[in-house]
Each structure stands twice: as structure tokens, then as C-alpha cells.
Chains A and B, each alone.
Chain A
Amino acid sequence: MKVLWIAGNTFRENIRDKVLYNLVTVAFLLVGGALLLGELSIGYEMKIIIDIGMASVSLTGVLIAVFIGISLVQKEIEKRTIYNIVSKPVSRHQFLLGKFLGLLFTLAVNVSLMVMAIFAALIYLNGRWDWSFLNILPATLLIFMELVLVTALSLFFSSFSTPVLSAVFTLSLWVAGHFNNDFLSFAKLSKSPVAEFTCRLLYYLLPNFSNFDSNAAPTAIQQAGYLQTPEPVVLLAAFAYGSLYTVLLLAAAAGIFERRDFK
């Protein structure tokens, strides 16, 4: 229960934070821009709306996850507001989990709002609602799962390093993680055993973000572009992978956090 109060307060903080509004405004502008672009490219209007819409959901989400994620706990330590939390009957794990869930809630609201905007744009183009529009939802869920993992990464890095470094680490892993499958290809091509081992190690160790928009076969997001339903197996695998990785990161962050001094 206390976890939920902490999450609720974190959400309230995010909502009252002006930075968030800027990001959301940018996202809506993107969707609006896509509408204009759609007008120009006859026949592909819907696809352009969905592609740009999804890209902005993902991009604003990642920016929120990283920049709010890294300061989620750091800010409370810096401003000493954490003094009044840990001196209450609340464990540090509960605090960490509450902060994490609070940001996830913010992200969920953000993603939902943007999906609404995409629906609105689609209705505008199509002239009426079509049930096939719902096919963008699985792709949205995948993006959300990706955001969960990015949030866990920022929280993990910020549990032991500075906010700036945490942002750098998280963003680089996010970028690198999208090319994760390439490490496996390198490993297969490589002649030197050391290089092969390193590549394989990186492949397994780094978060594999390509799971969430896999280059293999038509991806969920690409399918969404054509309003097709994705393979449930792809979805399930990505969810299982994302959840497991997130739990491991949170456990590590909690372990580090437990021993820390708050200034």
C-alpha cells in the first residue's frame, strides 16, 4: 500500500513538472505534422500517421524514462526530501519500487494520450472509426515494455552514478541495444575466438531492445503500419524478456540502494 502512495506522489510530481508538458506538446505537434504530411502522400496517409505516431510515442517515452528516471531518486537525495521518507516506517525497497511504478504510471498515461491522438488522426483521415485501427495496440504495448526496461536501466545506473553519467549510460545502451542482434552476427562471422566470445557476451548481457521492434521478419510495429495483427509469440517473448531483465535490474538497484548513505 505504501508503495502505491509513493507511486502516486511520484506521478503527481511528474504531472506538475513542466518538462513533461513540453515533451507531450512536442509529441502532439509530431502527430499534427504527420497529418499534414499524410495529406501530401496520397494513398499512404494512414501508414505515415502510424509510423510517425509510433516513433513519437517511443521517442518521447524514452526521453521521459531517461530524464525523469535518472533523477527519480537522485532528486530526492539532493533536495533531502528522502529524509522524511526513510525515517517513516517505509523500507528503502518500498521507496524504490514506489518511485519506479510512479514513473511507469506517468509513461502509461503519456502513451495512452498519444495513442488517442493517433486514433483521432486516423478517424479524421478515414472519415470514420474502423476496428482495424486497434491493431496498433500490440505495437504500443511493445513500446511500453521497452519504456519499462529503459526506466529500470536509468534507475539502476542512477543508484550508483551521477545523473549525467546515468543518462549517458542508459541512452548508449538503448541505442546499442537496438543493434544487439548484430553482435550475434559478428560473433558468427568472427574468426578470433576472443572476439567471438566478447560479441556473444555482449549479446547476452546487453538489453536486447531489438526484441521490441525486431528486425527479424515483419515487426509488430511495421505490421501496425499496415494495420495487421502481429504474431502473439513475438509479443509474449518480448514481454517475458523485458520483465525478466527489468526484475533483475531492479533487484540490483535495490541491493545497491540499501547500502547507500543519503549524504
Chain B
Amino acid sequence: MLNLQEGAGECNQAMAAVIETIGLSKTYRTGFWKRKKGKALESLTLSVEEGEVFGFLGPNGAGKTTTLKLLMRIIRPTSGEASILGYSIGHPHVYSQVGYLPEQPYFYDYLTAEELLSYLGRLSGVPSKHLASRVTDLLKRAGLFEARSLQLRKFSKGMLQRIGLAQAVINDPKVLFLDEPFSGLDPIGRRELREMIQQLNRQGVTIFFSSHILSDLESLCNRYAILHQGRLLDSGKLEEALDRESQTIEVVAGGVRKEEALCLEDLVQDMTQIGDRVRFLVPREAGLTRIVETVERAGGKILTIHPVRPSLEEVFFRRIRVPSAAPSAISSAGMSGS
């Protein structure tokens, strides 16, 4: 905590890292005497560069929200330090350039949408003369203009999410932290949010967000990190990770039967008959030539050969499944990028 206050990194400006954590840890003490310890986050070292859209992944309870709360000063770290835009997070003024959407945001029941945005805008340091037009603009963009005079107690979950997003960008932040931004949104809202993220990113805003919806992440982020049980399992460029994972090649042959190709069984990962075609999954190293030969000898024809690119989902599950049991599997898959 001391580290945090005294601020490593007041002069870190030279580094391009917009968000940086060094050994950030949080141990919750629970139980009556506060004796039970639960490690929610263990020594997270991470850096996010300017202009990145950074996807923060992990199963329930992995520590994603904990990380964001630490960065937003809602909870205090047990150890470690963090900086945003080169300033230690102990400096309140950095937050005039930061936007944050909490997980399942909740706001004052008794305020209307308009009042809430004005209030939070003022606290974020939006100049008074711009405030009214900014609020109206955001209400329109969030699709809440009709509901501007409705008290927030009457808002639906998705509407709260929308107003949460609106307040997060009210100060034109340089860095945006979103904790599960897609939750509670309908398909239209989801698409709008995706467009909003892309647009903000084009304007140079660095975006750090956690999500369970991997397909959304895949189409948005350029870098990712996977957190599991409070520990960083993997992080790096999304493209590289997906290419790295594409170790298998799919070969589809026509005019052959599975039985005729049984001699290949030791060579291929998987063999499936689809109609009059057979689909082989071949590990990259394995000899493609033997498969081609065998197929042709049986009078068949090779239809397609192409490397299989996994989805982020597959990368995710591969990392999560055997995280502690087989550390070698992880390192062989390349523990790079952090």
C-alpha cells in the first residue's frame, strides 16, 4: 500500500505502457476473526500499451473484477503496485482521464438519468459549460434520451448497463476500463457497444475489458490475458496465439471410405466420414504426403487442405483445463507476452 501511495512511476512517462501492474496481489481476509485468507489475485504483472484493446479473460472467480477494483482504488492491494498513464494509482488526478464501468453497475435510485450524468460528469472534471450538451449527447447515444427524466430505480438491467457505459465515457477518457460490458445488453445493444469500442479505439482510447463472451472479445481485442484462480496463465497478442495454436491441418478427401484409410489411423488425430467424404485432422509435423498417397491409391481425391485456426474459445479452454496439473503443457504452448 505504501508503494502505491508514494507512487512508483511518477516519471514513467517515457514508457508507452498505459496500464501497468507489478506484482499486484490481493488477499481477502474473511471469517469472524478475519483469519481465513483467500488469495483473489496473486502477483499480477501486466502491461497494456497505448491504443490497445486488451481482453481480460478468465472463468468465474478468476480475479478479473478484483483486478479492476484494485486499479480503480475501490479496494487496496495487499502488495504490489500499479500505474495508469505513467502515474501511480495513488494520484486521484489521473482518474480525470480514466473511465470505468463496474460489473453490474448500480446507481443512485433517486436520481434521474440526466441528473446522474451531470453529477458524475462534474466529479470527473467535465467543464460546466460543456456539461449540459455532453449529457444530452450521451443520453442520445446510449438510447436513453426518452428515459432521461426517469428515476434510475425504474431502469431495467440493460438500461443501467447503458447509463453505466455513458458515464464511463463522459470525460472523454484516454483509458477505459470495462468490467463485463456486454452483460445485460440485447443484441442491438451489443452491436452498438462493439461499434462504440471500435470507434473509441480508432480515436486512440486504450480499452481494457473483461468478458465471458469470447466471440465478442475475439472480434475486438488485439491483446488478451487469461487469468485463472488469481494467476496469470497466459497473455499476448491474439493473432499470434491463434496462429500458434493452429498446429493441426484439416484434409478433406472425396471418393474414399473411412475403412480404406484405416492404415493411417496412427498418423492422424481424427478421422470422420461425412457422406462420401472423409475428414482427416493431421498434426502439423505428420507426413501429409502419406495421406495424399493413400487417398490416391484408394482412388479418392483430395478436396481441401488447410490449417485449422482455433477460436479464442479453444485457446481459452486449452489453457484453463489443466492449468496446474500440467505446467509443461502450458509452457510448451508458449507462455509469452507478459
Q: A-side interface residues toward B, CB under 8 Å?
A: 2, 5-6, 9, 12-13, 16-17, 79-91, 259-263
Contact = CB atoms under 8 A, between A and B. Distances in A.
Nearest to B93: A89
B110 interface: yes
B325 interface: no
A87 B95 contact: yes
Nearest to A261: B75
Contacts of A88: 95-96, 120, 123-125
Interface in B74-100: 74-76, 92-96, 98, 100
A16 B110 contact: yes
The 3 closest A-B pairs by CB, nearest first: A261-B75, A87-B72, A89-B96
A2 B122 contact: yes
Looking at chain B, what size class is its interface with the partner chain?
20 to 34
Contacts of A83: 69, 72, 74, 100, 102, 105
Interface of B: 1, 69, 72-76, 92-96, 98, 100, 102, 105-108, 110-111, 115, 119-120, 122-125, 167
Nearest to A94: B92
A84 B92 contact: no
A261 B106 CA distance: 18
B107 A84 contact: yes
Contacts of A13: 108, 110
Contacts of A87: 72-74, 95, 98, 100, 102
Contacts of B69: 83
A85 B76 contact: no
Most A CB atoms within 10 A — which of B75, B92, B98, B123? B123
B123 A2 contact: yes
Nearest to B110: A16
A17 B110 contact: yes
A248 to B, nearest CB: 23
23 contacts: A2-B123, A5-B123, A9-B119, A12-B111, A13-B108, A80-B106, A83-B72, A83-B74, A84-B100, A84-B102, A86-B72, A86-B73, A87-B72, A87-B74, A87-B98, A87-B100, A88-B125, A89-B93, A89-B124, A90-B95, A259-B76, A260-B76, A261-B75
Given A81-B107, A84-B167, A87-B72, 5 more contacts: A9-B119, A13-B108, A17-B110, A84-B105, A84-B107
Given A17-B110, A84-B102, A84-B105, A262 B75 contact: yes
A89 B173 CA distance: 12
B122 A5 contact: yes
A260 to B, nearest CB: 8
B106 A79 contact: yes
B255 to A, nearest CB: 63
A79 B102 CA distance: 12
Contacts of B167: 84
Given A5-B119, A261-B76, A81 B125 contact: no
Contacts of A16: 110
A262 B119 contact: no
A260 B75 CA distance: 7
Contacts of B122: 2, 5
A89 B75 contact: no
Nearest to B96: A89
Contacts of B92: 89-91
B157 to A, nearest CB: 14
